[in-house]
A and B are shown apart, each in its own frame.
Chain A
Amino acid sequence: MSINPFSLEGKTVLATGASSGIGRETAIRASQMGATVVAVGQNPDRLGETFSALEGTDRAHRQVVCDQTNSEDFERLISELPQLDGVVLCAGRVVTSPFPFCTREKYDSVFEINFFSTVELLRLLYKKKKIASGGSVVLISAISGIARFPIGNAIYGASKAALTSTMKFCAKEFAKKKIRVNAITPGMVRTPMIKLDALTEEQLQKDCAQCPLERYGEPTDIANGVIYLLSDAAVWVTGTTLVIDGGLSI
């Protein structure tokens, strides 16, 4: 008899940020592993592309266009949701700014997506009992702000450090209901988000060369880690941070 501890068959998984990058790849990979997927994203066209790429069309996959900064969108999203076995919070944005230019406005714009709206969604899902007992929550954080501190990254790094801290508090509180909460801290992953106009291709290549495994990550590299944390293979894992960075933080 062959067993697959990483299977997501019979599980319903919500992924935010599913319009692109890690969120999109996570939604697709979860469907390939047998999950029924709720794909949440801001951009209707790109979210539609993710939705069309989901496997298992006989399952009740759904897509929900949601601007995480709009409270009406949020309430509609929560009210439409089925009971979830997995929640993957990927929505995020980045601003590159040396510290003297890190204004309150810039902090607010990044924290709104990376921290406040992400944490608010998690709060509502938990409070309204949308996460099933035995469920798994995965927060996509970053090594920046936790293990690496690249120049110009103070705002993004602080938002992700705050998110990782919150993960641990939730892991402790949610354990009563056997709900696990973990984070993944990716290194530099080839997604639309890292096309930082402030950096030249040459600088990006130089940065890449610092990575022991000598390449940038692909969204799949992170999505596979998410699958592990969502699956029963990780049933005794909570409050941890899984570093997937090609060795960059060593």
Chain B
Amino acid sequence: MTIDQFVENFADLFDNGGEINAQTPFKELSEWNSLMALSVIAMVDEEYDVSIKGIDVQNAVTVEDLFNAVKGKL
């Protein structure tokens, strides 16, 4: 699991994810909403077979924070 690949999978969830990078504070994106939060959890489960929780998404500020949360559960 690499950060680049994770950012790509994360950005794929968005219609306009082209500008997203590891340091993006993703909750400030206009497309961010509660359905996106559920989609992130589902993507992590599908791609990495890791169960993260709603609280993990809530606690993360940047995409890298999420990456680290997933890495910690691998």
Contacts and interface: CB of A to CB of B under 8 A. Distances in A.
Contact of B43 (A96, A101, A196): A101
A201 B58 CA distance: 11
B46 A101 contact: yes
B68 interface: no
A151 interface: yes
A106 to B, nearest CB: 9
B39 A198 contact: no
Q: Which of B41, B42, B55 has the most CB of A within 10 A?
A: B42
Contacts of A197: 51, 53-54
Contacts of B58: 200, 202
A94 B1 CA distance: 29
Interface residues of A, number: 16
A23 B73 CA distance: 33
B51 A97 contact: no
B5 interface: no
Interface in A93-118: 96-98, 100-101, 103
A94 B45 CA distance: 16
Interface size class for chain B?
Answer: 10 to 19
B34 interface: yes
A34 interface: no
Interface string B49-60: 001011100100
Nearest to A200: B54
B34 A97 contact: no
Contacts of A196: 54
B55 A97 contact: no
Given A197-B51, A199-B54, A202-B58, A96 B39 contact: no
Interface in A142-200: 151-152, 196-200
A79 interface: no
Contact of A98 (B38, B51, B53, B54): B38
A70 interface: no
A101 B54 contact: no
A98 B46 CA distance: 12
Given A101-B43, A101-B46, A202-B58, A151 B38 contact: yes
B35 interface: yes
B41 A198 contact: yes
A107 to B, nearest CB: 14
A203 B55 CA distance: 10
Interface of B: 34-35, 37-39, 41-43, 45-46, 51, 53-55, 58
Interface of A: 96-98, 100-101, 103, 151-152, 196-203
6 contacts: A96-B41, A97-B38, A98-B35, A98-B39, A101-B46, A198-B38
